[in-house]
Chain A
Amino acid sequence: MTSLMPKISYREAVREAMREAMEHDERVFLMGEDVGYYGGCYAVSMGLIDQFGEARIIDTPLSESGFVGAGIGAALGGMRPIVEVMTVNFSLLALDQIVNNAATIRHMSGGQFSIPLVIRMATGAGRQLAAQHSHSLECWYAHVPGLKVLAPATVSDARYMLAMALQDPDPVVIFEHVMLYNEEAELLAADQVAAMDKAVIRRSGTDLTLIAYGGTLHKAISAAEQLAEKGVSAEVIDLRSLRPLDSKTLLESVSRTHRAVIVDEGWKTGSLAAEISAQLMEQAFWELDAPVQRVCSQEVPIPYPKHLEQASLPQVEDIIAAVRRLPGVL
């Protein structure tokens, strides 16, 4: 049955999600750098301006702080803005708006105001865009109470999680890994996609749990396939939501497999992988039959040359090497 479904790309999935949102709710609009006539720097919003016009597809000046702040104001005023920030590196210019305003106003107003804002941004390395366009700073946002942070890693999640984020009364930050835009897959039906705050087991296994998200999910699945050839059964969990973390799914899985490897493109120090590792230690200590392993990026600014860029990122062979460090598995 599913084979009849056409394959679409992750890029198209995000575009269709935005198109659907704008068709169904006139409060929804998109703004960001070059999202209109240029079609977005990753061509995600290509063509939307023809359908919705300049009033709803807004090209902004190069001022992240300015247009994210404008999005917050619009959300306060009753709109449902989608703000696109070109990459997470650039979003640092808007940190003040996101962390000091978007995340706090519900709290500081005693619940009188909320900010139903969705901020989309690209993250991650692999396209030789060098150290100012390639970092994975999702965990900075996952640190902040008042924000929800999503990382769709599949075409179907890219297609349906945006609508869930727009439904949320509070600010939601969505991270789209740059290496995912060209991924193609058959689209699931909307009701086959889990709620946005749930982690999903992408592959069942019994010997260990590989925990990944965004750009590392496919590497984790490839590693699990290679491990299966060696007789090792790896479960793969896609976090999907980085804040809140679906700790329950993680703990249940690790309580079955007794071993965990976390694959995170962020730097290891102070990473999301560190937080997950700590939670496993705190809440599943007596289930662990091996030290938790983390596979993260090298602690350097992401290099420009391709071989160095690849060497700095978590790769399938790094995941398998981490599994080899688990006593009693390989």
Chain B
Amino acid sequence: MPSFGADMQDGTLSQWLVSTGDRVARNDVIAIIETQKGAIDLEVFTSGIVSKLLVAAGERVAVGTPIALIDDGVITDSVATEEPPRPAVPVAQPIPESATQACLTRPSIVPPAPGQGRVRATPLARRLAAEQAVDLSAIKGSGPAGEILARDMLPAATAPAGTPPMDIPAMRHAISAAMSRSKREIPHYYLEQTINLQRAANWLAEYNQDKAPEDRLVLNALLHLAVARALQKSPELNGFYQQGQFVAAEEIHLGTAIAIRGGGLITPAIINADQLDLDEMMKQLLDLSYRVRNGGLRSSEMSLGSVTLSSMGDRGAEKVFGVIYPPQVAIIGLGTPELRPWVNDGKIEPGLLVSATLAADHRVSDGRQGARFLNHLNKILQKPERL
């Protein structure tokens, strides 16, 4: 059972889309997993032939539980497989490291290597961390010398297995766990810059003028693309803080916060957001908001987000002070753009102003780098035609 986010502890296999004997290719959707964030399409991480389904439809299992075996054609000597003994591997044939007993995903956390910066955690705490896909290095231990004990893990982890209390909707529980962890572990710093969107708004009006209604762009698509492009020059905001260190993400998968009617929110990622053009970004946003409401979010979209954008849209508040979604290291907030006075060349003129905020992880970056990002975002938005 893969983790679709650091806050996911288990998932219910609601439907298999493949059966034993089927050939699957990497990234095929092979099952639908019901999570606290709704039904997610599970993409397979490897190619091969489905040799066994280990979890039946309707079963709820912890993250990390093998749910199927896939024969990828590579002989493995794993003792965990239930398959009959296979012929001996010729000595000359190396066993690739990737030889896998083919659970559908690896646990996303491996215990840190011994040596420098070793995390001191009890075996039980380590097991819980692996099950919850939690980064131990980001947790403050309560043992006498700061050792991490089971009680330092998410509250849900030490509670008896079972569903959270019925009066707390599951999604609220998941948000609570992730955000509590964020506020507990991540030293946030906050920056704000007001950006004049008037030029962008004018350009957009012009762009949309002779477009059919379905081809028109909204300002939010332009803002998303601008943020993604601006992140290209700020690798220290795009990535993950894990096992005591920052690992920059190689690609920009922009998580976008989408509120759900009736409460809760979800942050599916726009994959390779900076590589899109404006029309593609618009399509992606429409598609995502449709699928958030109607199902069909893919597992990669739920788990790959490397940074998050929380954009208020037309009917929100003036400013956003974001809470970072761990193990990410930054969240960008865009308030609701409003027409306000702006001083330009000594004269006051109306401008469509938006508050752009950055909440970033001070373990990874500093205010100067954060400010550079906001300045860069401003520059991009002043030349919308280049997007």
Give every chain B residue within 8 A of A285 (Cβ-Cβ). Answer: 123
Given A286-B124, A286-B127, A287-B124, are A258 and B150 neighbors across the interface (CB < 8 Å)? yes
Closest to B121 in A: A289
Indicate which residue in A287, A288, A328 contacts B151 across the interface (CB closer than 8 Å): A328
**How long is the Cα–Cα vector from A273 to B86 in the complex, in angstroms?**
42
A328 touches B143 (CB 8 A): yes
Binary contact track B120-160/A, C-beta < 8 Å → 1, others 0: 00111111000000000000001110010111000000000
> Could you give, for residues 277-310 of chain A, a 1 whenever the CB lies within 8 Å of some chain B CB and a 0 otherwise?
0000000011111100000000000000000000
Per the bound structure, the CA–CA distance linking A289 and B142 in Å amounts to: 12
Interface string of A42-63 (1 = CB under 8 A from B): 0000000000000000000000
Which of A258, A287, A290, A328 is the one whose CB lies under 8 Å from B142? A328
A203 to chain B, nearest CB (A): 21
Q: Are B147 and A286 in contact (CB under 8 A)?
A: no
Chain B nearest Cβ from A300, distance in angstroms: 30
CA distance A327 to B126 in the complex (A): 15
How far is A328 from B144 in the complex, measured between Cα atoms in Å?
A: 8
**Chain A residues within 8 Å of B151, by CB:** 328
- Taking CB as reference atom, which chain B residue is nearest A281? B123
Nearest-CB residue, chain B, relative to A284: B123
Q: How far is the CA of A202 from the CA of B156 in the complex (A)?
A: 30
Docked CA distance A327–B123 (Å): 13
A285 CA to B147 CA in the complex, in Å? 16
* Closest Cβ–Cβ distance, residue A172 to chain B (whole Å): 36
The reply to whether B124 and A289 contact each other, CB–CB distance below 8 Å, is yes
In A87-138, the 8 Å CB interface with B consists of none
Q: What's the interface size class on A, roughly?
A: under 10
Using Cβ atoms and an 8 Å threshold, which residues of chain B touch A258?
124, 150
| A-side contacts of B147, CB under 8 Å | 327
Q: Name the CB-closest residue of A to B125.
A: A289
Within 8 A of A (CB), among B214-259: none
**Which A-chain residue is minimally distant from B149 (CB atoms)?**
A328
Q: How many Å from the CB of B106 to the closest CB on chain A?
A: 18
A286 touches B123 (CB 8 A): yes
B124, B143, B144: the one contacting A288 at CB < 8 Å is B124
- Complex contacts, B143 vs chain A, CB 8 Å: 327-328
A327 near B127 (CB under 8 angstroms)? no
User: Please, how many angstroms separate the alpha-carbon atoms of A288 and B143 in the complex?
Assistant: 14
C-alpha gap A273/B85 in the complex (Å): 40
CB-defined contacts of A290 to chain B, threshold 8 Å: 122, 149
- In chain B, what residue has the closest Cβ to A258? B124
User: Are B124 and A327 in contact (CB-based, < 8 A)?
Assistant: no
A285-B122 Cα distance, complex, nearest whole Å: 9
When distances are taken between beta carbons in the complex, the residues of chain B under 8 Å from A328 are 142-143, 149-151
Output the nearest chain A residue to B122 by Cβ-Cβ distance. Answer: A289
Please give, as numbers and ranges, the residues of chain B lying within 8 Å of A287 by CB-CB distance.
123-124, 127
B158 to chain A, nearest CB (A): 9
Residues of A within 8 A of B125 (CB): 289
A239 smallest CB distance to B (angstroms): 24
Within the complex, the shortest CB–CB distance from A45 to chain B, in Å, comes to: 49
A288 CA / B121 CA spacing, docked (Å): 10
User: B149 — which chain A residues lie within 8 A by C-beta?
Assistant: 289-290, 327-328
Residues on the A chain within 8 Å of B123, using CB: 285-289
Q: Which B residues are CB-close (under 8 A) to A286?
A: 123-124, 126-127
Considering the chains assembled together, what is the distance between the CA atoms of A288 and B126 in angstroms?
Answer: 10
Identity of the chain A residue whose Cβ is nearest the Cβ of B150 in the assembled complex: A289
Assembled-state Cα–Cα distance A128/B127 (Å):
48
Bound-state CA distance A287–B127 (Å) is 8
In the complex, which residues of chain A have a beta carbon less than 8 angstroms from the beta carbon of B126?
A: 286
Q: CA separation between A288 and B124, bound complex, in Å? A: 5
Give the shortest distance, in Å, between A327 (CB) and chain B (any CB): 4
B160 CB, nearest partner CB in chain A, Å: 10
Residue among B125, B142, B147, B150 with the highest chain A CB neighbour number at 10 A: B150
Bound: A288/B127 CA distance, A: 10
Q: Closest Cβ of chain A: how far from B242's Cβ, in Å?
A: 21
Query: When chains A and B are docked, how far (Å) is the Cα of A258 from the Cα of B122?
Result: 10
Which of A258, A287, A289, A290 gathers most chain B CB within 10 Å? A289
Q: How far is the CA of A94 from the CA of B122 in the complex (A)?
A: 45
Cα-based distance from A286 to B147 in the complex (angstroms): 16
Q: A258-B150, A327-B143 are in contact. List 19 more A-B contacts (CB 8 A).
A: A285-B123, A286-B126, A286-B127, A287-B123, A287-B124, A288-B123, A288-B124, A289-B122, A289-B124, A289-B125, A289-B149, A290-B122, A290-B149, A327-B122, A327-B144, A327-B149, A328-B142, A328-B149, A328-B150
Question: Can you name 22 A-B pairs with beta carbons within 8 Å?
Answer: A258-B124, A258-B150, A285-B123, A286-B126, A286-B127, A287-B123, A287-B124, A287-B127, A288-B122, A288-B123, A289-B122, A289-B124, A289-B149, A289-B150, A290-B149, A327-B122, A327-B142, A327-B147, A328-B142, A328-B143, A328-B150, A328-B151
B interface, CB within 8 angstroms of A: 122-127, 142-144, 147, 149-151
3 closest A-B pairs by beta carbon, nearest first, are A327-B143, A289-B124, A286-B127
